[in-house]
Amino acid sequence: MNQTLTEISVRTSSHTEMIDITRKVQEAVSRSGVKDGICVVFVPHTTAAVTINENADPDVQTDFMKEINKIVPWEDGYRHMEGNSAAHLKASMMGFSETIIISNGALLLGTWQGVYFLEYDGARNRRVYIKILGC
Ligand code: ZN
């Protein structure tokens, strides 16, 4: 089986942030030479996550972050001594991986879909693993 593992760096600049990493994921697919297969994007952190959502109107990202922050407020009498329980909760809610089909050497995303790295306790230097399997 043709396979590759790529690690990319993501430098976040805000406490809470949504960063489009679609181009970086596609570059890893292109470099792998895999034409048909599966791409797994995995975030190895406990206060950051990955999701797929609209990449056309940036207001969607603004609304997305605003509403998630309302659902899980930063201060709410949490017990976790590090003081970032909200970030842990939001990361698990959004999840740490996405699986995307590769077809003809490209990510088989919908017209309006992009892959987003979600920062919930930045700013930090973060990592993302991209596993590509040809099949
Ligand atoms: Zn913590």
pLDDT tens string for the chain (135 positions)? 799 999 999 999 999 999 999 999 999 999 999 999 999 999 999 999 999 999 999 999 999 999 999 999 999 999 999 999 999 999 999 999 999 999 999 999 999 999 999 999 999 999 999 999 999
Q: How far is the CA of 89 from the centre of ligand 1 (A)?
A: 10
- The residues, any chain, with a CB within 8 Å of residue 21's CB and separated by 6 or more, are 8, 10, 41, 50, 115, 116, 117, 128
Q: What is the pLDDT of residue 66?
A: 95
**In 3-state terms, the chain is what percent helix, strand and coil (to 5)?**
25, 40, 35
Q: How far is the CA of 73 from the centre of ligand 1 (A)?
A: 15
pTM of the model as a whole? 0.96
Q: What is the pLDDT of residue 1?
A: 73
- Alpha carbons within 13 A on the beta-carbon side of 54: 10
CA-based nearest residue to 126, from 50, 55, 23, 30? 50
User: Is the Cβ–Cβ distance between 126 and 21 less than 8 Å?
Assistant: no
Q: How far is the CA of 69 from the centre of ligand 1 (A)?
A: 17
In whole angstroms, what is the distance from residue 70 CA to residue 47 CA?
A: 17
Domains identified in the chain and CATH numbers: 2-134 (2.60.120.460)
- Alpha carbons within 13 A on the beta-carbon side of 94: 31
Query: Which residues hold their Cβ within 5 A of ligand 1, which is an ion?
Result: 82, 84
Q: Taking the C-alpha atoms of 56, 62, 63 and 65 in order, what is their torsion angle to the nearest 10 degrees?
A: 120
Q: How far is the CA of 121 from the centre of ligand 1 (A)?
A: 9
